[in-house]
Structure 1
Amino acid sequence: MKTVTQSLATLLARPIGQEDRARAALLLLDWTGCAVAGRSEPAGQKIAAAFPDEIGRCTRIGANPASPQMAALHNGCLGNVLEMDDVDKRAVLHAAPTVIPAALAMAEHVGASMDDCLDAIVVGYEAAIRIGRAVGPGHYAFWHNTATCGPFGAAASACYLLKGSDLVSALGLAGTQSAGLWQTRHETDSMAKQLHAGHAAQVGVQSALLSAQGFQGPRTILEGEQGFFAALCPGADPKDVMFAHEGWLLHETSLKPYPACRHAHPAIDAALKADDDGGEVLLRTYADAIKFCDRPEPSSVIEAKFSLQQSVAVALTGRSPTLNDFEPDAIASHAATRTRVRVEESRNFNEAYPAHYGASIEIGGQVWIATDALGDPEVPMRYDQIRQKAFGLMRHGGMDDPDPLIDAALDRILATYCARLP
């Protein structure tokens, strides 16, 4: 009888089609914009400066090439800096900054084709998301799912490209290194959240490399009596959840149009619909959004990005938030509006979460509702919005002409798929 870990490995060996690769290419484009922009931020600059003497042949954005492990660490950190990377709402994790850097580094390391690299991204997303959906709220209460489930996805992605690697063993090695606590959210100067993503990508790559040498990991890391689910996931029922879905799950991930925590996005969407009369603003949403983003007086850029009040204040001006709307000057300019925003937990939105991220805005007795956030599969971003997001992020990161890079990403693989986007 197969173990849960072995069953996952079998699931990851399913055929991959052109539409799956096309979705992977679109997610690759989205991540690239995030990572290029992240390089120009203080956290990105510190990441680049931390390991200047690394030598290798794998690309690091804004730094000299390095080993596959260090390239994965570097690029993985960059992709999460601006909080604009994609998310799976049921797993509550960002697969891109863990899986894509691992796939790119290993593809360069072994000289893989672009199609193989895209296939590796498909497989990596699948592993991270399936495990992420199974961990349950008891895990998410303390552990950052991107950090803890990301190593499994990165290992699966890297193993797909590395001949001779043992996926079940690599998953074991990745799982035993799983880490990343939410305490980072309580300290405004902490940059550990970015390290979470980079570390997960690095762990995946090195686990694949070790497994290819016969370095054995625990083969029951997920379901063992002292394994991942037993130790870190109180109340989880992993077997039913992990294998409940038949399709490739990267098609169900959400893209983020706004540079704020995803939990703030439905509040933004509801506020963009509202007519602001200058009175009290009652924001109703689900408990996790309040837990992570109830910050009426943000004092830094990262706090502003995790502030429901700042996000709503910007959206009430009638325009979508941009990166500049979370800078210190913008934080100060929206102070008066933030004081008008009262936050309240909603049973209806709690019951719908995490399948649906919802919020409502009430002003003067009128109510505007966002049942799902823009960028979710239920409310997908248009193709031109996705391209414009990538363009804007690359320009923010210092690229004079991002169009050639974007065109290279959106080659023949994407033609059919993008034609069907709204």
Structure 2
Amino acid sequence: MSNASTRSAGMPQTVEDRSLTQGLVGLIRGKSVAASDLDAAALFTLDAVANILAGRNSVPGRILLAWSQEKTRANTEPDPAHLAFLMGGLCHILETDDLHRESVVHPGCVVVPAAWALARHRRAGGRALLEAVLQGFEATTRVGMAVGPAHYRIWHNTATCGPYGSAMAASALIGLSDAQTVDALGNAGSQSAGLWQFLETGAMTKHLHAGHAAEAGLKAAELAAFGFTGPPRILEGEKGFFRAACPDADPEAVLRAPDAPWQLVRTSIKPWPSCRHTHPAIDAAEELRSRIAGREIVGVEVDTYQAALDVCDRPVVTTDYEAKFSLQHAVAAALTRFPVDFEAFGPAARSACAALALKVSIAAREPYLSAYPTAWGAEVRVRLADGTTLKVARRNAKGDPEAPLSSDEMIAKAHMLLAHGGVADAGRIVDGILGLATGGALPDLTVV
């Protein structure tokens, strides 16, 4: 153990003396784990793994696989950091991975790849993996809840807050002391990065964000085991994360409500393969579709919150990826076709929905404006040629904790994703991951 870590471990500290990172490690490791928490962690792990395997069936996925195959020698086990990067990138491609609303972080695409890669390498058991996943979700979302809304306008929270989660999960699996874990989180946080500029051209950068966040935290934890020190005040320090990138940070949010349920159970699951900001409007538009009954639509209005406009105001789309980040296209698709699946964002659907998408106007209005990020809602109003106006509102989208998917729906989603990824033995993977909660071993996965 390093001298710095030894000093940290040996010196009693008051609550006031502790850094936020020290407090976060103590808070997380003091939480109890119930059987229901393990069951939930298994379902979220299943969702992430299914997204990873499905993500291979995509243009960026095939690029990542080709890169990995070139970097990895035949018949050798991939290095855990390399595998975490690959799995993280694949997990985030199809826009069907989980999302924690209050932090605007996708925890699964960062935490599960790091935890899975390390657990596989260390031959860890199922419970150890799931407890690491719980801890990783907790770290990344608690940091995410503290960064403030202004951070998200430029920075991608999954990329910047993700390394804290992967480092926390990896620290649990390696068995780091509290002091070593603070070192790991400090060095993970110093690697925080990820900008929204890719949206301008629809570049593949977002997948790199998830892969890097998974890899960065894992490496930081591995180095901490060798005594590699990190800054304990990486969050609140004068040259730390909040000062550098979070103009309206809320540092107290990191340690707020320590006795709350695990943040994993406060995380939403996506039913549709598009940006989560489009989902409340898709949910409302799907209900309206059956009421329109083929009548001509002359106009559509969508009320929602500002972040949805910042990321998804895109009336004209030319690629699948742009369509997934377009409220206009998503609403047009939900009003005219079922289901809103992968094909709903493809070339044929984009062509069919283009005229209606131009009739969709979007605005940030109350009550959704001030309810965000606690609630992600929208109202959709459709004006018909016969003079009728129909409207449906959603305070929360399907898949949120207030409107959760059932276990059966999550398993069905996993099977859909695994089929998309060409997985022949989906049942073995589903049963194996769900069995982790009762002590089962990690099922073998062929990612590359």
Bigger Cα displacement from structure 2, 354-363 vs 122-131 = 354-363
Give the alignment partner of residue 281 of structure 1, picking from 300, 303, 316. 300
Could you give the per-residue CA deviations for residues 339-391 of structure 1, whole angstroms, max 9, x where no partner exists? 22121221211011111111111123332111110000000112222111110
Partner of 1:120: 132
Following the alignment from structure 2 to structure 1, what is the Cα–Cα distance between the partners of residues 77 and 63? 16
Which residue is equivalent to 2:12? none
Give the secondary-structure state (helix, strand or coil) at the position aligned to 1:363.
strand
The whole-number CA distance in structure 2 between the counterparts of 1:272 and 1:372 is 14
Superposed CA RMSD = 1.8
* Among candidates 245, 257, 263, match of residue 244 of structure 1: 257
Offset, 1:116: 0.3
Residue 218 to residue 394, structure 1, CA distance change in 2 (3 Å): same
Among 304, 309, 328, the alignment partner of 2:328 is 309
State the distance in 1 between where 2:211 and 2:231 align: 23
Q: Is the 8 A contact 1:133 1:242 kept in 2?
A: no
Residues 54 and 64 in structure 1, CA contact (< 8 A), matched pair in contact too: no
Give the Å deviation of 1:244. Answer: 2.7
Distance in structure 1 (CA, Å) of the matches to 2:188 and 2:76:
26
Amino acid at match of 2:252: K
Partner of 1:225: 238
Question: Residue 286 of structure 1: CA displacement?
Answer: 1.0
Range that drifts further, 234-243 or 126-135: 234-243
What are the Cα deviations for residues 194-244 of structure 1, in whole angstroms up to 9, with x where unaligned?
Answer: 000000000011001100000111111111111111111112121245323
Contact 1:131 1:242 in 2 (8 A): no
Distance 1:72 1:412, change over 3 A: closer
How much does 1:414 deviate?
Answer: 7.5
Query: Where does the alignment leave 5 or more consecutive residues of structure 2 unmatched?
Result: 1-16, 384-388, 440-448
Q: What letter corresponds to residue 75 of structure 1 in structure 2?
A: M
User: What residue in structure 1 maps to residue 346 of structure 2?
Assistant: 327
How many angstroms does 1:271 deviate by? 0.5
1:158-307 → structure 2 map (5 Å cutoff): 158-164=170-176, 166-188=180-202, 190-240=203-253, 242-246=255-259, 247-274=261-288, 275-276=291-292, 277=295, 278-307=297-326
**CA distance 1:307–1:177, shift in 2 (3 Å):** same
Q: Is the 8 A contact 1:286 1:349 kept in 2?
A: yes
Equivalent position of 1:150 in the other structure: 162
- TM superposition shift of 1:102: 0.6
Task: Give CA deviations for 1:282-309 in whole Å, capped at 9, x if unaligned.
Answer: 1111111111111111110100001111
Q: Does the 8 Å contact 1:98/1:200 carry over to 2?
A: yes
What letter matches 1:156 in structure 2? M
1:361–1:399 Cα change, 3 Å? same
Label 1:281 to 1:106 Cα distance change in 2 as closer, same or farther (>3 A).
Answer: same
1:65-144 aligned at under 5 Å gives the runs 65-144=77-156
Alpha-carbon distance change, 313 to 240 in structure 1, aligned in 2, over 3 angstroms: closer
SS of corresponding position for 1:366 = strand
Partners of 1:65 and 1:300 in 2: CA distance: 36
Cα distance in 2 between the residues matched to 1:104 and 1:19: 20
Whole-Å separation in 2 of the counterparts to 1:357 and 1:297: 24
Give the ranges of 4+ consecutive aligned residues of structure 1 lying more than 6 Å apart after TM superposition: none
Find the counterpart in structure 2 of residue 25 from structure 1: 42
8 Å contact kept, 1:314–1:320: no
Which residue does the alignment assign to 2:25? 9
My pick for the range that moved more, 48-57 or 250-259, is: 48-57
Q: Distance in 2 between matches of 1:325 and 1:125?
A: 31
Change (3 A) 1:64 1:374: farther
1:48 is matched with which residue: 46, 57, 65?
Answer: 65
Aligned twin of 1:410: 434
Residue identity in the other structure for 2:372: Y
Q: TM-score, normalised by structure 2?
A: 0.88
CA distance in 2: counterparts of 1:3 and 1:48, whole angstroms = 40
Query: Identity over the aligned pairs, expressed in percent?
Result: 42
Deviations 1:45-86 (A, max 9, x none): 1111113244589xxxxx973101101000000000001000
SS of the aligned residue for 2:361 comes to: strand
Cα offset for 1:183? 0.7
Matched, 1:394 2:418: yes
How far apart are 1:318 and its partner, in Å?
5.5
Q: Which one has the largest radius of gyration? A: 2
Query: 2:382, 2:176 → 1: CA distance?
Result: 61
Q: Mark the CA change 1:282 to 1:209 in structure 2 (over 3 Å): closer, same or farther.
A: same
Q: Which runs of 5+ in 1 are unaligned?
A: 58-62, 416-422
Q: Does the 8 A contact of 1:138 with 1:233 survive in 2?
A: yes
Output aligned runs, 1:358-369, within 5 Å.
358-364=377-383, 365-369=389-393
Over 3 Å counting, the alpha-carbon distance change for 1:182 and 1:379 in structure 2 is same
Contact 2:119–2:125 (Cα < 8 Å) also in 1: yes
| 1:305-339 residue CA offsets vs partner (Å, 9 max, x unmatched) | 01111111111126331001111121111112212
Cα displacement (A) at 1:109: 2.2
Offset of 1:245 from its aligned partner?
A: 4.5
Aligned residues: 409
Counterpart secondary structure, 2:29:
coil
In 2: Cα distance, 1:324 partner to 1:252 partner: 29
Residue of structure 1 in register with 2:442 after alignment: none
SS in 1 for 2:49: helix
Q: Distance in 1 between matches of 2:89 and 2:299?
A: 39
Secondary structure, in 3 states, of the residue corresponding to 1:91? coil
User: Secondary structure of 1:324's partner?
Assistant: helix
Structure 1 residue 105 displacement after superposition? 1.2
Moved more, 359-368 or 251-260: 359-368
Distance 2:192 2:415 in 1: 34
Question: Partner letter of residue 357 of structure 2?
Answer: R
